[in-house]
Structure 1
Amino acid sequence: MREDRDPARDAAIRRLADRSGRDSADLLRDAEDAAETIGNGQSHGVPAAARHEDGSASPTGGPGVNHWQEARISRSGLNDRGNVFFAAVEMTRMPMIVTDPNQHDNPVVFANGAFLDLTGFGREDIYGLNCRFLQGVLTSQDTVRQVREAVREHRPFATEILNYRKDGTAFWNALFIGPIFDAGGKLLYFFASQLDVTRRRNSEDAFRQSQKMEAIGQLTAGLAHDFNNALQVILGNLKRLQAHAGDQAQVARAADRATRAGEQAAKLTKQLVTFARKTRLEPRAVQLDEVVAEFAEMLTRTLGGEISIALEAAPDLPPCVLDPVHAEMALMNILANARDAMPGGGRAVVRTATVELDEAAIHAGGDGLKPGRYIVLSVEDNGPGMSPEVLSRAAEPFFTTRKGQGTGLGLAMAHGFARQSGGRLEISSELGAGTTVSMLFPVATDGNAPPQPAWSEPVLDPRGGAETILVVEDNDDVLDLAVHHLLGRGYRVLSARSGEEALHVLGESGGRVDLLFSDIVMPGGINGLVLAEQARAMVPGLRVLLTTGYNEDLVRARAPGQEPVLGKPYRETELAARVRLVLNQPNGQPPPGSSHEG
């Protein structure tokens, strides 16, 4: 034991012991050991880049937090330098805690006042507990797993995680954890700092929604035009059907045109809903040239009155992995940006191509892409171009050179989409020489192509057999159409116009029903979800297929993964295939990934 004991030091240790619940004698011995090991009251370490939740790295580890890969802390007799250190930690407004990984379950042994203020807990609530008390129902367990791995591997880690205060309110926590070692490399403690970034996260959510609204603003005129045209074709050809009921050739032509117009109207509605809603990307392997070609007519109609748009597609383009609807939205924003740069008119060329990125090209980009083949979707215009100063800021959110026009989100949205899709956004421009904006997407491989949903499985024979189907639909016209389709496939069909009537029909049938095909949203106290549950109680093993014209995200939120869903409007062939697939499932279990929009 050292003889040069400092009374002020000892008092500080006892105060710390009172706060942490540890024995003051243990803390005194720790301080003496550390002083004898290093003895200079310094912190030694090497700055490091911690890993974030998404795998990216940051040289500072997190928002406003500098950290150390390996910090060796000594408190030379807890002299004045040590007292200042502990006083600073206690007084700082950065929430901080210390845990002891050498004890069972890595409990909290110290928390400063800022942490208590942030979370609402008292020291008596948390000392001796693992940090799990901060978790709640929406806390990402994947992020929790990554934090645990970092603790187990004695390494620093930075991420953002949804935590909960004592009163149950949630907050987004920018968390950094780092290990503290002694001079011999033994792990002593884990240090953790927190920062409430809820406002920033909410702002980012609002920003992403505003990106979609910008795209909607560009598309509204074109969508309204196309939808009204579709309605005109449907209504006009239905009148022709009435007028030429005896002329089979005329009837066939009118019916074909009405069908195609209805399918186009359904596609437009689905596009508008997808653009407007808050949704995660749904990437899949697609032929980008086909996506662009299908969207080209709307692009020309929406923007072509002011600029000339040409399409140059590369032959034999391999598939790439992306969300096609968001790709259309990004392309629309890039073209709208080109149009706005040419108020007097001009020309834009949309091109697709392939490119091979080697190590040098990857390094030059500095964005962590992997070497390999990429699909390029580019827009080249012959506008005035950009100065180097404008070019350097072109993809910044809210940056615009058109005062009072636009939000400056178009290229920022395209940049974000390309990055989320595993690619990048490139912009090249010179004053007087036009601008080229390119999005790069990785070519689809077995390793990056997402699994196809169960509904994509082919159904070789969608015709019915001896099965009986109960169709439940409150709209008489839709009910009549579904019954007609299923009778045409050879099924025995029963019908009901409400959940209550359906249960009555089910009881009268003596349980001889193989499939319940029901709308979800119906008047009365029994909707499709409740009906499915009660019907299964009456007929164990009953297969269920639901349908809705509402946003499928709402359905998933109310009954995630419980029943397969067929979106309206659906084709007769789609209905037949979905019904056959559900009937083929054993014991009435829904197929995995079975939710689908028609």
Structure 2
Amino acid sequence: MAHMNDDEGSPERAGGGHESSGEPARGSMDQGALEPLGRPGLRHWQQSTITDPDLSDRGGVFFAAVEMTRMPMILADPRQDDTPIVFANNAFLDLTGYEEGEVLGRNCRFLQGAGTDPDHVRQLREALVEGRATALEILNYRRDGTPFWNAVFMGPVHNPEGEIIYFFASQLDVTNRRESEQQFRQAQKMEAIGQLTAGLAHDFNNLLHVINGSLERMAAKRHDEQAFERYLAAATTAADRGAKLTHQLLAFARRGRLEPKGIDLSELVNSVAELLESSVGSKATLHLNLQRRLPQVRVDATHLEMALLNVVVNARDASPNGGAITVTTKRVHLNGDAASRQLEPGDYALLCVSDEGTGMAPHIVARATEPFFTTKPRGEGTGLGLAMASGFVQQSGGRLEIDSGVGRGTTVRMLFPILERQADEFAPKTAPTGYQTRPLDNPTAPPLVLVVDDSREAAAMAGEALQDIGYRVVVAHSAEEALQRFDEAHGSGDAFKLVFSDVIMPGGANGLVLAKHVADRDPTVPVLLTTGYNDEMAIDGPQPHAMDVLGKPYRRSELIDRVQAALRRGARTGPGRTTSDFGHAQA
């Protein structure tokens, strides 16, 4: 029979012979704990104690209540091998589709399947081993193979001596709720994509208008040198702004090209202090509160400078009446609060920007890092500053947080994990001995370059730029065609000195696959890759062969510099490696 503790902790007899008592959960629910009926007052027991562990007498009120409830419940015996289920009520059998004889004596892992998260399984296993309560939602499978989301609360049952004799688990099918949440998230995602697309279309249409208009005026003013140069400069500036916009979007999407290294946040802030001071203007006052000898973090310094500048400029714009803008750096330790911040426990370096401006309402804070969302008047802000900063911080393994309130200013915190080993371990290594430089076989013969791009316009532009400085060029529009041209040239004795290829191409082989085939055929031929999107580029790890990567869009001078560097690399007797826009490429 059951003794249930009330809120004051005094036993309340429910009647009968055998006894059980429970320790109810107190205060707020543990993270992940469930309130199946949605009533704030409803609590699960965290653990319980029974005076008679015999399960054969099912005539008591306790078993009658367990059998009639609609909530699936089971008991498992940790004293037996593999902690088998020794009791399952009818609701559990209805939920899973199994018969009682198919359940008793089996470990509950038979409910798991291909889609079950191993981390959830680990959490359950650890709770069993440690003899503690736990609550989570796990993907299980019914007897017919259909999946369902199972909200599980599990806790130990003790005998009077304090020994654990059973584990009790109540369960709830929350599949409908999970699907509704997913549909809501998808609707939010589509709304955000619509806003992003509209913002992109607006900004790029403006840039294209400037470029097209300038080109038309250049054609009309081709005999007016000053006007021609003016319109050429306008078109070039608009193109550069478009490139910057795509870089910001890649940073927001956490797919931007980063070149991380160990840096001291305090030293970085000091190095850009004059720029920050000029950015805040005459009304606001910049204060620096920097911890000396701050442990290093591994980030891309250029992207961090841009993120910091964007946050400081936002602080300035939010302070029309002036006031202090304070940049702070310090070391912090996250322990119990790390999980709520979606970070691992440990030491972090904090970069913080605080202002005394107008502040933001909660609904504005919630959208502050959305791309193209801005409260500034039209034409005064792109809405990408905080989005770019947030994307960069997350890509660097950290977290950006915003604390703000109307009338009390805003604080933006950027947390970065501290390096366990400092930056000297990441210094460039000297080239191994034996990498001797040798001249080209025939330095007077123009090098033969294979240009590969599925875009005929892009291939033609690159080819013409190389031909202008004396290189011979063969163009291909797929990896398959490129390999055919490569084999033909090598078979004729007039071998290619360089392959310049786009990464993303249609068909079965991309630029990385092409580079591997080239290395298999002739490892002395360098490969220069180009792409505006690095999702297929691996940043770390051992490299099977040397290659360089030129990010799009690139200028003619950048292309020529990289091609010449690659040709010099190809003149070595052994394999080499150069630093690229993407770190290192890997096939």
Query: Could you say whether these structures have the same fold, taking a TM-score greater than 0.5 normalized by the shorter chain as the test?
Result: yes
The match for 1:154 among 131, 141, 144 is 131
Partner amino acid, structure 2, of 1:271: Q
Q: Secondary structure at the match of 2:457?
A: helix
**What is the deviation of 1:353?**
1.5
2:478 equivalent to 1:498:
yes
Q: Return the match for 2:22 from 44, 47, 50.
A: 44
1:569 partnered with 2:545: no
Aligned to 1:85: 62
Tell me the residue number matched to 2:114.
Answer: 136
Question: 2:30 pairs with 53, 59, 65, which one?
Answer: 59
Which residue number corresponds to residue 242 of structure 2?
265
CA apart distance, 1:111: 4.3
> Aligned in 2, Cα 1:69/1:376: closer, same or farther, shift over 3 Å?
same
The C-alpha deviation readout for 1:257-278, integer Å capped at 9, x for no partner, is: 8666534311202434665x69
> Whole-Å Cα distance in 1 between the matches of residues 162 and 240 of structure 2?
68
**Cα deviations by residue, 1:324-368 (Å, 9 ceiling, x for unpaired):** 9999999999999999xx9xx965879342166999xx99xx999
| TM-score calculated relative to the size of structure 2 | 0.57
* Cross-structure match for 2:5: none
Please tell me whether the aligned partners of residues 105 and 130 of structure 1 are also in contact (alpha carbons under 8 angstroms): no
Aligned counterparts, 1:423-434, within 5 A:
424-429=401-406, 434=407
The residue aligned with 1:401 is: none
AA of the residue aligned to 2:350: Y
On the 8 A contact 1:283/1:321 being kept in 2, the answer is no
Checking the alignment, whether the CA contact within 8 Å between 2:124 and 2:134 is kept in structure 1 is yes
How has the CA–CA distance of structure 1 residues 374 and 213 changed in structure 2, closer, same or farther, with 3 Å as cutoff?
Answer: same
Structure 1 position 180 matched with structure 2 position 163: no
State the partner residue of 2:325: 351
User: How far does residue 238 in structure 1 lie from its aligned partner after superposition?
Assistant: 7.5
Match of 2:419 among 431, 446, 452: 446
Q: Which runs of 5+ in 2 are unaligned?
A: 2-16, 37-42, 368-373, 376-383, 441-446
| Alignment correspondent of 2:380 | none
Contact 1:233 1:257 in 2 (8 A): no
CA separation of 1:526 and 1:81: change in aligned 2, threshold 3 A: closer
* 2:328 partner letter: T
Question: Relative to structure 1, is the Cα distance of residues 373 and 266 closer, same or farther in structure 2, using a 3 angstrom cutoff?
Answer: closer
Tell me if structure 2 keeps the 8 A contact 1:41–1:82.
no
User: Matched residues in 2 for 1:450 and 1:140: separation?
Assistant: 36
Deviation at 1:191, TM superposition (A): 3.4
User: CA 1:283 to 1:529, structure 2 compared with 1: closer, same or farther past 3 Å?
Assistant: closer
Of 313, 329, 353, which aligns to 1:377? 353
- CA distance in 2 between counterparts of 1:579 and 1:349 reads 56
The Cα shift of 1:436 comes to 0.8
Q: Give the direction of change, closer, same or farther, for the CA distance of 1:73–1:314 in structure 2 (3 Å limit).
A: same
Structure 1 residues 47 and 96: alpha-carbon distance in aligned structure 2, compared to 1, 3 A threshold: same
Shift, 1:488, TM fit: 10
Residues 288-314 of structure 1: per-residue CA shift (max 9 Å, x gap): 979999x99xx99xxxxxxx9968474
Distance across 2 between alignment mates of 1:76 and 1:192: 16
Query: In the TM superposition, what whole-angstrom CA distance separates every residue of 1:58-80 from its partner, at most 9, and x where no partner exists?
Result: 53652327455543344476698
1:46–1:69 Cα contact (<8 Å) kept:
yes
Q: Distance in 2 between matches of 1:40 and 1:330?
A: 67
Map 1:137-536 to 2 at 5 A: 137=115, 139-164=116-141, 172-195=149-172, 196=174, 197-199=177-179, 201-202=181-182, 205-206=185-186, 209=189, 216=196, 223-224=203-204, 227-228=207-208, 231=211, 235=215, 261-272=238-249, 275=252, 312=286, 314=288, 351-354=325-328, 374-381=350-357, 421=398, 424-429=401-406, 434-442=407-415, 445-447=418-420, 470-482=450-462, 495-509=475-489, 518-523=501-506, 525-528=507-510, 532=514, 535=517
CA distance in 1, matches of 2:87, 2:272: 58
Output the CA distance in 2 between the equivalents of 1:459 and 1:255.
43
Change (3 A) 1:292 1:499: same
Q: Displacement, 1:503? A: 3.4
Q: For the Cα contact (< 8 Å) 2:204–2:242, is it kept in 1?
A: no
Distance 2:198 2:89 in 1: 51
Equivalent residues of 1:320, 1:441 under 8 A apart:
no
Distance 1:336 1:443, change over 3 A: closer
Asked if 2 retains the 8 angstrom alpha-carbon contact of 1:234 and 1:261, the reply is no
Tell me the amino acid that sits aligned with residue 184 of structure 1: E
Displacement of 1:502 after TM fit?
2.2
User: What is the CA-CA distance between 1:380 and the residue it aligns to?
Assistant: 3.8
Q: Deviations over 1:72-104 (max 9, x none)?
A: 344476698974333444444444444444444
For residues 490 and 452 of structure 1, the distance between their equivalents in structure 2, rounded to whole angstroms, comes to: 42
Secondary structure of the 2:409 match is strand
Displacement of 1:131 in angstroms is: 1.4
RMSD between aligned residues: 6.9
C-alpha distance in 2 between matches for 1:574 and 1:222: 34
Residue aligned with 1:199, SS: helix
Q: Decide whether aligned partners of structure 1 residues 502 and 228 sit closer, same or farther in structure 2, where only a CA change above 3 A counts.
A: closer
What letter corresponds to residue 30 of structure 2 in structure 1? Answer: P
What is the rounded CA distance, in whole Å, between the counterparts of 1:46 and 1:215 in structure 2?
Answer: 48
**Does the Cα contact within 8 Å between 2:527 and 2:566 map onto a contact in 1?**
no
Shift in alpha-carbon separation, 1:531–1:325, aligned structure 2, 3 A = closer
Letter in 2 for 1:499: A
Query: Percent identity at matched positions?
Result: 29
Shift, 1:185, TM fit = 3.7
State TM-score, norm by structure 1. 0.56
Instruction: Tell me the CA shift for residue 41 of structure 1.
Output: 1.3
Given that 2:136 and 2:151 are in contact with CA atoms closer than 8 Å, whether structure 1 keeps it comes out as yes
SS in 2 for 1:505: helix
The range that moved more, 313-322 or 188-197, is 313-322
What is the CA distance between 1:496 and its match in structure 2? 1.6
Question: Are residues 373 and 84 of structure 1, via their aligned partners in 2, closer, same or farther at CA, if it must alter by over 3 Å?
Answer: same
How far the C-alpha of 1:44 sits from its partner, in A, is: 3.4
- Greater shift, 262-271 or 464-473, is seen at 464-473
Offset of residue 198 of structure 1 = 1.5
Unpaired runs of at least 5, structure 1: 1-5, 7-38, 50-56, 301-307, 399-404
SS of corresponding position for 1:202:
helix
The 1-side partners of 2:133 and 2:303 are apart by 39
